[in-house]
Amino acid sequence: MVDLERASPAAAHWPRQQYEGLFVTTGSRLLSERLAWVVEDECAAQPHKNSSEAASVLAFLVAHRVEAEWELENVVVAGAVRRRGAGTRLLNEFIAHARAKNGSGIFLEVRESNQSARGFYRKMGFEETGRRKGYYASPAEDAILCRLKFG
């Protein structure tokens, strides 16, 4: 996941420890929940006699729930498979999951310059609802706020 994120300039760039923290569970998560889903290229895994290589991650999605609302924190799709349905599949599955968990909606921030992602989110039913000045660093840029309401 980290390698794929680093290769995508438009992705939210997190420290490795933040990704590792996705897979650590602690206590009760009644009000808050985090999930990470991946799309793997299992054909890239090469089984060997006594071991196997990990499948290649083609796309991933990370989201966080607080009470009934979900935040889509990061979506990354490998350049080689963009516009082939991996992102749409991930987001459709996530939307279905959020609805099934009685979520009230999903919100996200996206770089103002990331026109392809903004178009993708609009196509998926999100509305642009505002702006956060100087939200992103490296390079500095405003975030566009998007929301998908259920019901």
**pLDDT tens digits for 112-147?**
999 999 999 999 999 999 999 999 887 899 999 999
Catalytic residue among 19, 121, 135, 141: 121
**pLDDT tens digits for 40-53?**
886 654 454 444 45
- Catalytic residue status for 67: no
Burial label, 80 (beta-carbon count in 10 A; 0-12, 13-18, 19+): exposed
The CATH code belonging to domain 2-149 is 3.40.630.30
Query: Can you give the pTM of this predicted structure?
Result: 0.76
- Catalytic residue status for 121: yes
Catalytic residue among 71, 109, 135, 136: 109
**pLDDT tens digits for 53-67?**
556 888 889 999 988
What SS3 string covers the chain?
CHHHHHCCCCCCCCCHHHHHHCCCCCCCCCCEEEEEEEEEEHHHCCECCCCECCCEEEEEEEEEEECCEEEEEEEEECHHHCCCCHHHHHHHHHHHHHHHCCCCEEEEEEECCCHHHHHHHHHCCCEEEEEEEEEECCCCEEEEEEEEECC
Q: Residue 81 to residues 8, 36, 84, 127: CA-CA distances in angstroms?
A: 12, 19, 6, 26
Q: What are phi and psi of 113, to 5 degrees?
A: -80, -10
